[in-house]
C-alpha cells in the first residue's frame, strides 16, 4: 500500500489561504465568495484534515499584552544527535517552549521560548540545561518580531485578491 498524498487543487489552496489568514471566517462566507456550496468547503476541509494537511486550529495572542515580555531563541547542542528524541520529549514538558526544530548547522535543536521577564528566562534556561543529553545552549533574545504570517500557498489573481479584501483579509 502506498502512502499517496491526496490531490490538492486550486480550490483547496484558495480555501486554505483564506483560513490561514483568518480562521474565524465561516465556511458559508468563503463558499459565497468562491461560488461553491458551504458543503463543498466542509467536505474539502474534512478531506485535508484526514490527510494531515490541516493539522489544527490555533489562536494567535499577543504574549506581551498577557505579561510575557521576553521571546528568546535557543540554539541547543546535544552530546550526541541520537539523543534528539529523548531530549525533545523533555523539552516538550516545558510549557514556555513554543516551538522546537531538529536542525542542521551549528545547533541540533533550535527552539523558541516565551517568558515573563529575564528572571523567568533564567529559570527556564536552567531547566533546559539540566536535561540529560544537552551539552550547552546559546540564547538570542528577540527585540522585535517583524514578520509573522502564513505561507502564501497560492497566487491570487486580481479578482481573487478582491475576494480577500471583501472578506477583510489580504
Give the pLDDT of residue 122.
98
Check residue 93 and give its pLDDT: 98
Count of H helices and E strands in the chain? 6, 4
DSSP string, 62-128: -GGGGT--EEEEEEEEES-GGGHHHHHHHHHT-TTEEEEEE-SSS-SEEEEEEESSHHHHHHHHHHH
pLDDT in tens, 145-162: 999 888 888 776 677 677
Asked if 99 and 113 count as a contact pair (C-beta separation under 8 A), the reply is: no
pLDDT at 1: 47
Burial of 27-42, coded b for 16+ CB within 10 Å and e otherwise, reads bebbbbbbebeeebbe
Alpha-carbon distance of 140 to 76, in angstroms, equals 11
pTM of the full structure: 0.81
Residue-range domains of the chain with CATH? 10-58 (1.10.10.10), 63-141 (3.30.70.920)
Q: What is the pLDDT of residue 164?
A: 73
Cα gap 125→82, rounded to integer Å: 22
| Regions of the chain short of the pLDDT cut 70 | 1-4, 156-157, 160, 170
State the cell numbers at 144: 522585535
Q: Residue 89 has what pLDDT?
A: 98
What pLDDT shows up at residue 169? 75
Amino acid at each position: 500500500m502506498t502512502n499517496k498524498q491526496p490531490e490538492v487543487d486550486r480550490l483547496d489552496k484558495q480555501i486554505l489561504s483564506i483560513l490561514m489568514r483568518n480562521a474565524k471566517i465561516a465556511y458559508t462566507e468563503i463558499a459565497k465568495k468562491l461560488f461553491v456550496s458551504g458543503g463543498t468547503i466542509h467536505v474539502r476541509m474534512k478531506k485535508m484534515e484526514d490527510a494531515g494537511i490541516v493539522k489544527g486550529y490555533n489562536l494567535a495572542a499577543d504574549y506581551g499584552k498577557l505579561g510575557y515580555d521576553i521571546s528568546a531563541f535557543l540554539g541547543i547542542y546535544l552530546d550526541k544527535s541520537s539523543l534528539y528524541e529523548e531530549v525533545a520529549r523533555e523539552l516538550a514538558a516545558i510549557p514556555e517552549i513554543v516551538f522546537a526544530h531538529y536542525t542542521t548547522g551549528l545547533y541540533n535543536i533550535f527552539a523558541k521560548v516565551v517568558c515573563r521577564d529575564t528572571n523567568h528566562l533564567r529559570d527556564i534556561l536552567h531547566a533546559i540545561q539540566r536535561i540529560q543529553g544537552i551539552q550547552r545552549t546559546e540564547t538570542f533574545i528577540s527585540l522585535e518580531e517583524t514578520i509573522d504570517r502564513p505561507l502564501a500557498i497560492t497566487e491570487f489573481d486580481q479578482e481573487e485578491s478582491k475576494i480577500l479584501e471583501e472578506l477583510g483579509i489580504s
